Amino acid sequence: MIPTISRLALAAFALSASILSGQPALAAVACGSGNFDAWLADFKTDAAAKGISQQAITAGLAGVTLDQSVLNRDRSQKVFSQSFEEFSGRMVPPRLERGSNRMKQYGSVLSRIEQTYGVPGEVLVAIWGLETDFGVNTGKFATIRSLATLAYDCRRSEQFRAELMDALRIVQRGDLAPADMKGAWAGELGQTQFMPSSWMKYAVDFDGNGKRDLLHNAPDVLASTANYLAGYGWQRGKDWQPGSPNFAVLQQWNKSEVYSKTIAYFATQLARAP
C-alpha cells in the first residue's frame, strides 16, 4: 500500500460521479449534522431496509464511533507527485527477490489462476508486493469505523455509505467477522487492498474452503485480484506494457499512471527473474 495517498482516493471523484448519478435516497439525518450517533441510527434503519440482517448490523456497528484521525488523513492527502523513476526505484528493487520467491512458492496456484482468469502470475505478484509487501502490511484501521466516519463526513458521503453497506454484507455473508476487518484508513481491505464493493463483486473462494478470505488466504487473494482485472477486460496472452489494452486495465486498478507503470515494470522484472 503506497503511504503517500490512498489508492481509493485517486479514483474517488470519478467514482463519486457515477455513484451520485444513481440518485440514492437522502438520509433522514444529514451527513456532518453534528450528531454522529443519530446519523448512525438512521443508517442502521436504512441498512435493514436494504435487506441486511439485524445480526450483521448489530455485529458490525455496535459501539462504532467517529474516528477523527481518519478525517485528518482524508483532508491532508498529498497529490501523488513522484516520478516513475523515483517511485519504481524505491518500490521494486527491495521486493524483487521476495516477489520471485512468491512466484516459485505459489507457482501451481498462479498457473491455475492464469488458466481460469487469463492474468499472468507476474502481474498478480507485482500488485501483491506493491500494495502490502505480500500481505505483511495490510493496515490496522478498523474498517467499519473508517467507512462509517467517511460516510458521515460530507465530502464523499454517498460513496462511502455504499461501501459501508457492502462491508456489512461481507459480515452477513460470513466472509469475515467485524473484529477481523482491519485495513487501510480509507476502508481498503486485504492483501491487495479491495474496497468492500470490489470484495463483494470480485472476491472468490479459490481454495474451496467455503470463505472468500482476502486477509489471510493467498490463493483467494491472488485469484480475486485476477478476477478483478478480468472483470475490467484483461486480454489473455497479451502484453501489459504502457499503451496496451492490458495497461489500461492496470489503470482501472490504480488511476495513477506512475503506479500502473510500476506494476507493469515490476511484473516484467519478475517474468525475467530466474
Active-site amino acid positions: 131
CA atoms of 94 and 42, how far apart (whole Å): 47
Asked if 132 contacts 192 with a C-beta cutoff of 8 angstroms, the reply is: yes
CA dihedral 83, 192, 139, 6 (to 10 degrees): 40
8-state DSSP, 189: B
**Which amino acid would we find at residue 266?**
F
- Residue with cell string 492483501: 191
CA atoms of 232 and 93, how far apart (whole Å): 28
8-state DSSP, 203: -
Asked if 138 contacts 187 with a C-beta cutoff of 8 angstroms, the reply is: no
Question: Which residues are bridge partners to 88 per DSSP?
Answer: none
CA atoms of 274 and 257, how far apart (whole Å): 28
Q: Which among 107, 182, 115 has a CA at the least distance from the CA of 143?
A: 182
Beta strands per DSSP E along the chain: 141-142, 182-183
C-beta contacts of 247-252 below 8 A and 24+ residues apart = 250/123
